[in-house]
């Protein structure tokens, strides 16, 4: 057979394969759109970094089995994954209804992520979830308009107040539109086959480490290592591949990152729970009949007994104070702002009378939001 004829046939065969590859890629994009719809319904993040890494590892293994260059296959599929995410985003933009964009601090499997899934999963119109490394990053996404609201932890029954959330509220641009209280069970996660006796380092978020101080005291050989997120700590343990390292995180993070649960319920308090606040740029109406809570920020006038008088104005009107927190005022040494949570709606007659009576007692007064009070579970 003449070489030219053989080359022509080979090129035709390659072109036919390329056409099949494009058809398969089209099928993949159609499935990707269905995945986008499922993620909206389940309140699941669009970009699942840990799953992508597991997929790429699997594809590298398959490529090597087939005599293909694993590195080149990874490079190719990173482009395919970027195409898939872009297709999902385009699909969402084309929907008749607009999904709610919710942000939080942490990654897949973090407590904030799990709380957001439970709160917004199944919402008509769907939900787009996105995680940030910091509380500030989540809050700034809302202020900047790339998210509709953020779900941020504000206090824990064991470790106390989460000051960064209070400080972000003081900067303005956000109001509280809701709250949710979630039971928190901390687990010790390690590589499959690892044992507690051989562990040397345990990674987690500072709040989780504080909530497990009793466990850490009982195991003085464990060095606590601070990470930005509980689920991120689990991912770091997986990536390190060192059986002497572990993470404190949720049980849900174990299958996500291929880890084993070495111990459950290691928090210091059996009733450990975290209160999350939903923050948005503008307030929302409180449903009729729903028990309401109102949060305030104030700075006292420079006079003796001002704080006692403020609290007295609420007490005289039968308004129950459920939280009082102080935080330093930036640029004003040894001066403080106070955050108050009060049962009741800010538009009620007793509440309005209390706010009017506060005027001579405060140098600053800001309403942080009236919202449905969470029901203790």
> Would you name the residues annotated as active-site residues?
274, 276
User: Reduced to 3 states, what is the DSSP secondary structure of residue 335?
Assistant: strand
Q: How many CA atoms lie within 13 A of 97 on its CB side?
A: 11
CB atoms within 10 A of CB 203: 26
Element (H, E) at 212: none
Take residue 171 and report the two structure tokens written for it.
Answer: 């900067």
3-class SS of residue 364: strand
Q: Nearest-5° angle of CA 80, CA 86, CA 92?
A: 140
- The closest alpha carbon to 337, from 218, 166, 122, belongs to 166
Are 70 and 63 contacting, i.e. CB atoms less than 8 angstroms apart? yes
- 297, 366 Cβ separation under 8 angstroms: yes
Q: DSSP letter string over 98-159?
A: --EEEEEES-TTSHHHHHHHHHHTT-TT-EEEEEESSHHHHHHHHHTTS-SEEEEEEEETTT
Cα three-residue angle 16-20-26, rounded to 5 degrees: 145
CA distance 264 to 242: 21
| Residue 249 DSSP SS3 | strand
Furthest-apart CA atoms within the chain: distance in Å: 105
Centroid of chain to Cα 367 = 25
DSSP H or E run through 354:
helix 349-358
The 10 Å Cβ neighbour count of residue 375 is 9
């Amino acid at each position: 057979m003449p070489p030219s004829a053989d080359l022509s046939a080979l090129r035709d065969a390659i072109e036919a394969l390329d056409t099949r590859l494009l058809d398969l890629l089209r099928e993949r994009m159609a499935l990707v759109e269905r995945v986008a719809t499922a993620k909206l319904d389940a309140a699941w993040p669009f970009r699942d970094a840990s799953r992508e890494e597991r997929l790429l590892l699997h594809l590298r293994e398959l490529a090597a089995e087939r005599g293909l260059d694993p590195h080149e296959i990874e490079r190719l599929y990173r482009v395919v994954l970027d195409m898939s995410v872009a297709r999902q985003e385009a699909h969402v933009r084309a929907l008749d209804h607009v999904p709610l964009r919710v942000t939080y601090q942490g990654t897949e499997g973090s407590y904030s992520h799990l709380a957001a899934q439970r709160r917004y999963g199944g919402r008509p119109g769907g939900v787009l979830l996105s995680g940030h490394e910091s509380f500030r990053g989540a809050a700034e996404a809302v202020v900047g308009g790339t998210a509709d609201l953020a779900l941020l932890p504000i206090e824990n029954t064991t470790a106390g107040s989460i000051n960064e959330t209070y400080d972000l509220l003081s900067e303005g641009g956000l109001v509280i539109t809701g709250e949710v209280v979630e039971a928190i069970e901390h687990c010790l996660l390690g590589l499959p086959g690892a044992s507690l006796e051989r562990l040397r380092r345990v990674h987690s978020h500072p709040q989780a480490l504080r909530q497990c101080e009793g466990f850490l005291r009982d195991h003085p050989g464990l060095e606590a290592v601070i990470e930005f997120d509980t689920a991120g700590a689990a991912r770091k343990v997986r990536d390190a591949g060192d059986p002497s390292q572990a993470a404190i995180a949720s049980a849900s993070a174990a299958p996500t990152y291929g880890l084993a649960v070495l111990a459950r319920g290691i928090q210091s308090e059996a009733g450990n729970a975290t209160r999350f606040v939903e923050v948005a740029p503008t307030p929302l109406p409180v449903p009729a009949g729903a028990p309401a809570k109102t949060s305030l920020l104030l700075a006292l006038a420079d006079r003796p007994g001002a704080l006692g008088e403020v609290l007295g104005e609420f007490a005289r009107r039968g308004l129950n104070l459920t939280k009082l927190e102080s935080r330093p005022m930036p640029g004003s040494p040894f001066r403080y702002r106070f955050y108050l949570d009060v049962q009741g709606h800010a538009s009620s007659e007793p509440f309005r009378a209390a706010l009017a009576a506060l005027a001579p007692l405060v140098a600053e007064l800001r309403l942080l939001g009236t919202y449905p009070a969470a029901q203790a579970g």
